[in-house]
Structure 1
């Protein structure tokens, strides 16, 4: 797994100078260039939740290139730049609703309204159990609305729902 932070707070996620999280380095003997590595954008302000998500992918044996946005403004800026560039799109977006600066719902509205991004599978990972949040996300066409797990075991169970979306 490779990790790229979209903020100046790489150290908050336990990353070394090369930008890679120590837990996300993977097996150096694997010829990474020979396989297609899925790109996952995590939009989450809680570093612990980011680490738990990455650990779940790693534990499940998935090699993933992660990009992390730590707040809504950071995510929106990245997505706007991405929409205007020829760079590869994320294969999956994991989005928290309760973000600082710009809400996850506003980010989701932008994603679904931008032709270059609208088709990217998007999974809501949130602590919100509010019916209005679920209904709004359903109207905007999310691929899944999942309540955040509290433990690695719960996250691994949740991966059973996320992995097929990534593998489409």
Structure 2
């Protein structure tokens, strides 16, 4: 098995994550701490994800080669939310280990999975992610975890070969 890859769907309330060994999904979940401020939640998510990462390194005896994160270039509900997600992402990445960090645009991985854009609502996109994971991975998950699984699968199966992924070396 090749090195490990961590896929993240970061938000201010909960972060979906998935760990891949090569193109195989090894485990996934959601970090959803209860702290009141988004900054405290981000710190708690970072600590939890660091623990998950260290356990995976120990269990699989492999290092983390890459972290892949959804990059949403469209402004969220408002500019403040987008800024908070950026801060949360920075806090989380500051605690994690990987040789490379990649950002993949939300529309890129959704196109790969052939999402329908007839209804562009957040609810429709989240439902499509959950349904796709149910069919493709035979796994019942919530939307944040589904997004992380699909982002990671896109990356390990196709995305890493494309030059349109933005890479930042640690």
TM-score, normalising length from structure 1?
0.35
Structure (1 or 2) with the greater strand fraction: 2
Structure (1 or 2) with the greater helix fraction: 2
The higher relative CO (CA closer than 8 Å, separation ≥ 6) is in 2
